[in-house]
Amino acid sequence: MSTNVEGKVVVITGASSGLGETTARHLAAKGAKVFLGARREDRLATVVADIVRAGGQAAARKVDVTRRAEVNAFVQAAVEKFGRMDVLVNNAGLMALAPISKTLVDEWDRMVDINIKGVLYGVAAALPVFARQKGGHIINLASVAGHKVTMGGAVYCATKHAVRAISEGVRQEVDGIRTTIISPGAVQSELPLGISDPETSAAIEQFYRQTAIPADAVARAIAFAIEQPADVDINEILLRPTAQEL
């Protein structure tokens, strides 16, 4: 079946687990050429091998999104491998929830570095490529936490509000490219493992066990945004488990 995903080069950060991995597998099955990045190279290699074995096209390169030069090299490697880049999915993220009064400042720094600066470095690396190609698509993973502020989520929510602001700014200012914000509620992944505060971790694990939906739901939303005709830009998709109240 021919779709508007087939043949597109989709570059995904944070593709070693969770939403990024599932999205890579989903898009590759629809005929996209996927280029995967994260820090855990062994995990990336497994995903690439699975996709290739199933007849898809995939490659990977180690990247730490908090390092600007690495993000640049990652995007350049994707363009060298597949000849162009149609979509960049800025998906890498960290959710170190904790009461702000615990002042886990190192974790605040890491969330700002990964969730905000990582996205900005991706945008900076992509824009010259898209200018040369006269088109492209940036998809940024925000969250329900980018729409509201929840207990223990001051900094994480701040980073996800920032992702939405950055995405909307790019959309308004840069001609000819599409910008999509994906804002999920609770989705099964390794994200809760990023919580070091014991009470918050226990509460979130229970919430995820009761509520979270499979990562495929997000992969399908991303595919929906990509497969629209070039003159249609899906600006944001906000999706929750049906069972999620807040």
Q: Which residues bind ligand NDP (CB under 6 A)?
A: 13-20, 38-40, 43, 63-66, 91-95, 114, 141, 143, 184, 186-187, 189-191
- Closest distance to ligand NDP from the beta carbon of 153 (Å): 11
Strand order in the sheet with 9-13: 57-62, 33-38, 9-13, 87-90, 136-141, 177-184, 236-239
Q: How, if at all, do strands 136-141 and 87-90 pair?
A: parallel
Residue identified by tokens 């602001």 is 165
The residue from 48, 156, 181, 185 that is catalytic is 156
Dihedral angle over CA of 135, 139, 140, 146, nearest 10: 110
Nearer to ligand NDP, 43 or 81 (CB): 43
Nearer to ligand NDP, 91 or 200 (CB): 91
- Closest distance to ligand NDP from the beta carbon of 175 (Å): 27
- Closest distance to ligand NDP from the beta carbon of 39 (Å): 3
Which of left, alpha, beta for 55 (phi over 0: left; psi -120 to 50: alpha)? Answer: left
Q: Which residues make Cβ contacts (< 8 Å) with residue 147, sequence separation at least 6?
A: 164, 183, 238
**Token pair listed for 62:** 């180690």
- Closest distance to ligand NDP from the beta carbon of 229 (Å): 26
Active site residue 121: no
Nearer to ligand NDP, 56 or 93 (CB): 93
- Closest distance to ligand NDP from the beta carbon of 176 (Å): 26
Nearest to 7 by CA among 74, 77, 85, 73: 85
Nearer to ligand NDP, 131 or 207 (CB): 207
Nearer to ligand NDP, 85 or 111 (CB): 111
Distance CA 182, CA 137 (A): 13
- Within 54-197, residue ranges assigned H as helices are 68-82, 105-111, 118-133, 154-173
For the chain, how far is it from start to end, CA to CA, in angstroms? Answer: 38
The catalytic site residues sit at 156
